[in-house]
Each structure stands twice: as C-alpha cells, then as structure tokens.
Amino acid sequence: MITSKEIELFKTLFQKSPKSIILHINNDSAEIKDIIDNFINEIDGKLTYKNFNEINIERFRLTARDFEYVIVSNCLDLVEDIDKFIKEIYHSLENSANIILIENKLNNNLLFMKDILERNDFRATNSIEIFEEYNLTVAKKMHMWGNGL
C-alpha cells in the first residue's frame, strides 16, 4: 500500500501548473491511477488515460508534442516491441517534457527501465526511491538532443 508520504513525494515530480496535460498508460494498477487522478484534480489539469490491456500495440499512435508528462505504470514487461512503444511516447511529449516509468519491484527491471529510456534518446535518466513497492524512473525529452529536434 502506498503511504501518504510516498504520495506527497511523488507529487514533487510535477510542476503544479494549471492545465498540465498528462498521459497515463496503466496496466490495472488502481493504486497508481487513483494517485494520478487525485493529483490532476488538485491542479485542474487534463488527463488522458489509456488502459494498456485495451491498446493495440501495432496501431498505437499518439499526437506529436501533445503531453507535458507521460506516466507508464506496470506494463513494460507486456510490450513486445518496447522500442517502438517508447519512441511513440517520445514523439508525443513536448520538448523538455518528462516520462515517468513505474514498475512493481517484484519485476526486478530497474536497469531495463533506464536502458530503454537512454537508448531511445531520453536524457537525465534517474531512478528515484519514492515508493516501497515500486521502482520509479524519470527521464526528459531534451530539445536538440537525439530525436528531440
């Protein structure tokens, strides 16, 4: 169970500007979904939610430069072409926007999370110990770096 202290630490990852636009791709993690829903309501932001189980990866497309943050929770192990998936997310982010990967620690994939972000041109990749039960990795799409042109 995620504690209130962990929730408060998680919220510090975001700029609390009204009308922030966030995409959350989630694999049935109600706990994470509830935290993000509550945060969006607090800042009067806009949330686009996609249930990973309902996504057809072959047809997965997002609008370019549409989101300030993309949060992917508990679905990396289920993606067949992880690079294609991450590249699509990359193009959906505004310049200098962030991606946040959240995976259950039982999956033991912290190094994998960092690797897929770095090899797909995300920069400033950091793993942050916020949750007791989840690994969290944050990275930034940088303007004029890699595919960030």
97/65 Cα distance (integer angstroms): 9
Residues of the chain with pLDDT under 50: 148-149
CA atoms of 1 and 61, how far apart (whole Å): 33
Quote the tokens at residue 62: 């997002």
For residue 101, which phi and psi values (nearest 5 degrees)? Answer: -105, 130
Provide φ and ψ at 69, rounded to 5°.
Answer: -140, 140
How far apart are alpha carbons 149 and 147 in whole angstroms?
6
Whole-model pTM?
Answer: 0.93
The pLDDT value recorded for residue 146 is: 61
Task: Give the chain's domains with CATH numbers.
Answer: 4-11+20-140 (3.40.50.150)
Give residue for tokens 């057809």.
Answer: 56
